[in-house]
Structure 1
Amino acid sequence: MRRILPTIVFTQFACTSLWFAGNAVLPELQQELNLEQDALGLITSSVQLGFIAGTLCFAFLSLADRVSPRLLFMLCAVAGAATNALLVFLPADFTTILLLRVATGFLLAGVYPVGMKIAASWYSGSLGKAIGYLVGALVLGTAFPHLLRALGNSLHWQSTLLTISGLAAVGGLAMYLLVPDGPYLRKGAAFDIRNMLQAFKVNEFRAAAFGYFGHMWELYTFWAFVPVILAYSLPELTTVQISLYSFCVIAAGAIGCVGGGHLSQRFGSARVAFVQLLLSGLCCLAAVFLLAVSSTIVIIPFLLFWGVVVAGDSPQFSALNARTAPQHLVGTALTVVVSIGFALTIVSIQFTTYILKFMPLPVVFALLVVGPILGLLSLRQLVGRQ
């Protein structure tokens, strides 16, 4: 029993490192292939698009509730590692990169939401705390490619991608071999296309889901553009310094996830999510003033704090969604919610990429506050019931 949570945490970290692998090696790819500046948004959105397609497919077939989650996790993790590694062996052109990133995103749909279902099968009363560790691992995995690039600056981009793929494959195998089915694993639902939307008939689930959607409008856009923000606000930074600071800012979210998980044991998931979403919304507004100040002692602490709160509410939203969904549809409900949330990230990322051509960066990132505002309005009804 003691090894279960550490193993789930490790596997989530290892497998989600595939997410931003393309972002981490983007400067080398831009130089080698003469890519345009908007390549960042396209590569990030291609992973999100694949993830959405995967979650919709899995939800349509109710795979997360009909197939052993351990087996599904392992197969998707190993296959995702393979598609990521294919970037090294296939002809390097932008179309191939985008297609392989879409495929990787598709397979990540069998990692992130399925990992949450596995955690939910082992932890009931302490689900907010357990998912805090799990999403904290996801945050570290997302940030890891930036660290690898900063520490291994002499590595070719091919070596970076192969290292990440190897780590993901090990994570998938570890989940299958070391984590048995949990005692709270519910019997899966039979296939029914209505399963995809049935959970939204529950008021509490709908409130948690829409709070999560507001959170997602901000989260991945902030993560994707952290290097851009650093280069804008601190133009004196080197490429290695930008990668290292990007890792620190994104990885800081793990503190918010784990800390929020512990706080949820005392104050409840809804209250913890509400406060962190409120703070991240305030960071959006503060960006108008602070990102225009070209000072390391101002920018870095501000971005680190934003990094903590922008991700810290994510596990509590997941816990709320898992608790309020019909119990025989937890896997499918989580998958559908995550799918819609990531669809919103594509809109947010592409919208941000577009308006950056016409508006100053600090003003653009202040506009992300729309997501937290809408999320807070939806979440407040759950806060009053805790």
Structure 2
Amino acid sequence: MQRIIGGKPAAKTKAVPSPGAATVPRATPAVTLVRVDEGSEGQRLDNFLVKLLKGVPKTHVYRVIRSGEVRVNKGRAAADTRLALGDEVRVPPVRVADRSAEAPAPAREFPVVFEDEFLLAVDKPAGVAVHGGSGVSFGVIEQLRQARPGARFLELVHRLDKETSGLLLLAKKRSALTALQDQFRGRETGKTYAALVQGAWPANKKVIDVALHKFLTDEGERRVRTVAVPRQAQDDRSLRQAQAGKRSITLVQVAKKLRGFSLLDVTIKTGRTHQIRVHLAHEGHPIAGDAKYGDFALNKALARGEAVPGHRFDRMFLHARRLRFAHPASGETIELEAPLPRECEALLEVLQS
């Protein structure tokens, strides 16, 4: 088993430019013929087209596939057709977004924890999205692609919230991507987070098995709530939400008892959106600095240096600190560790003094 701790320091970067201008629709040529290279080998046809035709709604992509306008090696193909190296894909004329006016993502490297010809693991800082979208112009993946123009393939294996720091895994080959994603889906990986929560966590509370339901607020913001089937199914809305919820399991162990807080080691057995944040808040111990599910008064006091006199802390204390998986090529067990960021360590030193 390989066990790697820490990583190389991040490279210096230029200032981030302001987001680009709005995109303008434009038409593609009458027909485009695209040859499948190593970076797209094994990919589904629908995913290949969504990536190729940035700015085209997915509904339209599926429509042109069903209509037969998209051809693979001159024959009709289904959305789930797997592309092979050298396949020729006929892409019909569609309207895509003109991104020529957008400022490109700035090239940026991140601290490397592990890297070989198949995969890359970096230590993502808090406050950086893993990819662009939902009002974010770019993230880790776009910046890394700019920093590595010679990379033929680079894709995210999994996600981390923008506010969460720590280990992020990327694949450098499609075969590695599919193998690693299969491990994540099959719950064959070990993911452990460090979380600082308000109050004294009960030592006997080691498992949280509560279903989660994802929804959108009236403002269109993605949120998650816990759900439970009511004993008497009189509330149809609650029952529908409970039925829509997905079982979610979080394992919790107290790492340190601190003054007014608890440092936890949290391992997730299911990978739901905002799972740790919602589960810990549901138990009455929100994560320090969590702007969505936390104690807002406490967060403000931490940021001002009032909760811990003389020490300001203005981020969410959630860090992906350990990741274990089987190497996609050799099958060897790889265990990676990323140390706590300096600002988190500094807060702990004050709380335990």
- The TM-score range, normalised by the shorter chain, is under 0.3
Give the structure with the higher percent strand.
Answer: 2
Larger RCO: 1 or 2 (CA < 8 Å, sep 6+): 1
Which is higher, the Rg of structure 1 or of structure 2? Answer: 2
Normalising to structure 2: TM-score of the pair? 0.25
Normalising to structure 1: TM-score of the pair? 0.23
